[in-house]
Amino acid sequence: MNTNSICVIRNGEIIPLAHIPLISISEFRDTVIEKVASGARISAFWGQPSGKAVRLFAILAQDKYATLALLSTEVESSYPSLTPNCVQAHWFEREIAEQWSVTPTGHPWLKPIRFHPSYRTGRDPSAVTGEQIGLTDFFQVGGAEIHEVAVGPVHAGIIEPGHFRFQCHGENVYHLEISLGYQHRGIERGLMEQPAKRRIHLIECSAGDTTIGHATAYCHAIEALSGCQAPARAVFLRGIALELERLANHTGDLGALAGDVGYLPSMSYCGRIRVDFLNATALLCGSRFGRGLIRPGGISLDVDESRVKELLRHLNKASEDVTEAVELMFDSPSVLARFEGTGEITPQTCRDLGLVGPMARACGERLDVRHDFPNGIFRFSQIPISTWHTGDVFSRALVRWLEMQRSIQFIRDQLNMIPDTGLRTEIGSLPPDTLAVSMVEGWRGEICHIATTDQQGELTHYKIIDPSFHNWFGLAIALRGQQISDFPLCNKSANLSYCGHDL
Amino acid sequence: MLNVLGVRIHQKKRTIPFPQSEPVLPDRFRGRPQIESSRCSSGCHRCVDTCPTDAISFNSNKITIDLGRCLFCGECSAICPEQAIRYTTDYRLAVRRREELVMSSNELSLATALQEESRRLFGRSLKLREVSAAGCNACEADVNVLNTVVFDLGRFGIQFVASPRHADGILITGCVSRNMLLGLKKTYEAIPDPKIVIAVGACAISGGPFIDHPEIHNGAGAILPVDLYVPGCPPHPMTILDGLLRLLGNIR
């Protein structure tokens, strides 16, 4: 492998487009396959129009070295698919095919992921884009005793829409196919085509339960491009808000897991304590989801000493309550009997699919952007990685609880040492023809944003990769060999975002 | 077992005594805006320019805010040199008609109760089907939270059900993506008559931050006859609960 085939950057850095190696598709293909085989992970793999062609970029996370390998190639209408040799490319190639009408020849399972018309004008989209959502050839298992179960898009509870197609033999699931796209709102295109004043709001809504995570990733990208630094005070408060978001969502998930196995005490308590964590965020900025807090250049609202004390009081009370509620659940044999051994994912499958976040850490993988690619507050204060090795529902629940304890301690520590600086710096002009990469460990895992500017220094392309994009396929695989009645439990143990995937 | 009981005692009863007493909201909560057009002497229109969803306009020198589009982000208030727009902590925002969300004075015609016949049918038992039609999971989460012990929606006879056939109405969140149009329509059609429609959040009312994206339908209003509009991005759970109880005539 030629070392000139890649360039290396770090999280939160920029690089002129001209410095990104533009190599032939065969070299690109070989490099990605070889790097992934030797331990790298595809963080991003996307297309951008380049004249009449499409320029494909890949970002390979080298977690052990805290570096990101960046490479690119140009393709016209087709190229040899990477997926047969590199499973991690599977979903990315489907996205590229749908967005840019570029066929990855030899892709074993080429079909739309969001069901929208091609972004590339003048191209026949029929090969890869679906005319109507849901009308597609689902993978089917044959046999007289096999039956198919279809669920969604509208679900029984108050959750987002998506379609699930199970191939069952009796109660046993042989295969699950997850078909999404119902939530597609055109965020990536909207960021470019709608007035610039709407951008931060679209970002905040890309996955509404991860408002802080996505807004922070966006702001890091814009700040890196403009060469400005958010003041230290803002950096600390962003970090505190990010961990509060993790606490609220993990608490909600643990409660919902208890509910899914019929353990009502922990379900009721966690449902209420989640609100306490949300209210702590509301204490910071008025919005329970952190809307309006994170802004390019810093944050919008300050905290004084009395507010810090109040926040600490909220946090201590909620952490005391949640400890009791969660320990009750983990002490209950009937809960453990349902959690243990359910929806197992092996470490090998986890690496093959490139899973991220708590789902990967529950397979024993030591992956965490806060630790591996620290940016923002995590350049100053470290947070240890929490893992467990069993890969099942129990493991995913336990990893959440371990992370919560770390987050609580982290916020307590940070609240005592918020630096006394300004809140916000001016965002200057952006450099022309430059690309910025920004990663944040949201509560679901690695959020990756990539911003590109044109010759005038205006944003010309924006890519969002929610952790759910990596993980949905992992959920489908986790269901193989399970009882269909365990689907709600497995689904909740992953709790992936529909809108974060569909954008 | 004793442990379970001990924890139960320690966690206490946490249901808020609403509507008997007023809830306490965070001091920075942005609820109903307070408009003072008389303060606006310079007429700089910076509020209009900064509003991400173009919810603000001027009508013969009077500031008008369309709460159906408003994200309650507070950016207009922050940029106004005269403090002509302020956000109060008043969480009561739900109305019955779309045009009532367009505020130029500080009066909001809060939702009135359903007509006598509908109240007789739904007043003590209202079953709703929730459809998320491209909501970002913030509105969904704040609807869902009404089922927790804090709000205990069930005590008002309101319940979310798992089938449209069991429902008296539909509660919609999200801007209604093209890809959810059919699912939304089919769900509505599957609910037996008479039925009510509730739109929760800026997206479901107007499209919210996604207004005019080609991939969406700018909310539920153009597709279904909406009976209750609950503005916000997302609305506070108290705003939703207040709206539901007004619709049923439990709060007047």
Q: What is the pLDDT of residues A16-65, one digit of tens each?
A: 999 999 999 999 999 999 999 999 999 999 999 998 899 999 999 998 88
Cβ pair B134:A184 closer than 8 A: yes
Q: Give the pLDDT mean for B98-105.
A: 91
Nearest to B5 by CA among A274, A317, A328, A338: A328
**A198 interaction partners in chain B (CB closer than 8 Å):** 52-53, 209
Residue A263 pLDDT class (50, 70, 90 cuts) = very high
What residues in B contact A202, CB-CB < 8 Å?
209-210
Chain A residue whose CA is closest to B233: A291
Residue of B4, B26, B73 lying closest to A292 (CB–CB) = B73
- Given a cut of 90, whether residue B240 has pLDDT beyond it is yes
User: Which chain B residues touch A208 with a CB distance below 8 Å?
Assistant: 135-139, 141, 234
Question: Which residues of chain A have a CB within 8 Å of the CB of B203?
Answer: 205
Cβ pair B132:A325 closer than 8 A: no
pLDDT band at B2 (very low <50, low <70, confident <90, very high): confident
Q: What is the pLDDT of residues A379-434, one digit of tens each?
A: 999 999 999 999 999 999 999 999 999 999 999 999 999 999 999 999 999 999 99
Looking at chain B from residue 84 to 113, which residues have their Cβ under 8 Å from any Cβ of chain A? none
Chain A CB within 8 Å of residue B19 CB: no
Rounded to an integer, what distance in angstroms lies between the CA atom of residue B100 and that of residue B228?
11
- Kindly list the residues from chain A whose CB atom is less than 8 angstroms away from the CB atom of residue B45: none
Q: Is the pLDDT of residue A124 over 70?
A: no
Q: What pLDDT does residue A130 have?
A: 59
Q: Write the residue in B29, B140, B147 that is nearest to A160 by C-beta.
A: B140
Interface of B with A in 35-74 (CB under 8 A): 49-53, 71-74
Residue of A99, A158, A251 to mutate when probing chain B, most B C-beta within 10 A? A158
A161 touches chain B (CB under 8 A): yes
pLDDT beyond 60 at A125: no
The counts of H helices and E strands in chain B are 8, 10
Nearest to B137 among A208, A271, A282 (CB): A208
All structural domains of chain A with their residue ranges: 3-105, 187-502
- In this structure, are residues A444 and A357 in contact, taking their beta carbons and an 8 Å threshold? yes
Question: B148 contacts in A (CB within 8 Å)?
Answer: 268, 271-272, 274-275
Instruction: Please indicate whether, in this complex, the C-beta atoms of B28 and A206 are within 8 angstroms of each other.
Output: no
Mean pLDDT score, A238-261: 96
Place of tokens 């982000």: B73
Q: Which of A176-185, A243-252, A294-303, B11-20 has the lowest mean pLDDT?
A: B11-20
B211 in Cβ contact with B233 (< 8 Å)? no
Extended strands (E) in A63-145: 67-75, 78-80, 103-105
Spell out which residues of chain A touch residue B175, defining contact as CB-CB under 8 Å.
185
Among the partner residues A185, A208, A265, nearest to B177 by beta-carbon distance? A185
A56: distance to nearest CA of chain B, Å? Answer: 25
A358/chain B closest Cα distance in angstroms = 20
Q: Average of pLDDT values for B233-240?
A: 96
pLDDT tens sequence across B25-57: 999 999 999 998 888 887 788 999 999 999 999
In chain A, % of residues over pLDDT 90: 90
The stretch B127-143 carries a mean pLDDT of 95
Its CATH architecture, for the domain A187-502, is Orthogonal Bundle (1.10)
In the predicted model, is pLDDT for residue A128 greater than 70? no
Pairing of strands A146-151, A163-169: antiparallel
User: Is it the case that residue A224 has pLDDT exceeding 80?
Assistant: yes
Q: For B181-201, what is each residue's pLDDT tens digit?
A: 999 999 999 999 999 999 999
- Say whether B74 and A283 touch across the interface (CB within 8 A): no
Chain A residues with CB under 8 Å of B159 CB are none
Task: Quickly list DSSP for A186-240.
Answer: -HHHHHHHS-GGGHHHHHHTTTGGGHHHHHHHHHHHHHHHHT----HHHHHHHHH
Positive or negative: CA dihedral B202, B206, B211, B217: positive
Question: Angle of helix A264-285 relative to helix B2-11, nearest 10 degrees?
Answer: 30
Decide which of B82 and A358 is more confident: A358
Distances (CA, A) of A80 to A28, A30, A73, A75, B147: 11, 11, 12, 10, 51
For range A237-266, the mean pLDDT = 96
CB contact under 8 A, A154 and B183: yes
A105 near A78, Cβ under 8 Å?
Answer: yes
Q: How far is B216 from chain A (nearest CA, A)?
A: 6
Lowest-confidence segment of A131-135, A174-178, B53-57 by average pLDDT: A131-135
Report chain A residues whose CB lies below 8 A from the CB of B73.
201, 291-292
Which class in CATH covers the domain with range B116-247?
alpha beta
Is the model's pLDDT at A67 over the cut of 50? yes
Instruction: Look at residue A133 in the predicted model and tell me its pLDDT.
Output: 86
Per-residue model confidence (pLDDT) at position A51 = 87
Quick check: B107 pLDDT over 80? yes
- Which of A98, A99, A185 to mutate against chain B (most B CBs within 10 Å)? A185
Amino acid letter, residue A52? K
- Model confidence at B227: pLDDT above 50: yes
Q: What is the mean pLDDT of chain A?
A: 93
Contact A286 B187 (CB under 8 A): no
SS3 A46: strand
CA distance B39 to chain A (A): 24
Disruptive mutation site among B46, B137, B210 for chain A (greatest number of A CBs within 10 Å): B137
Is 50 exceeded by the pLDDT of residue A126? no
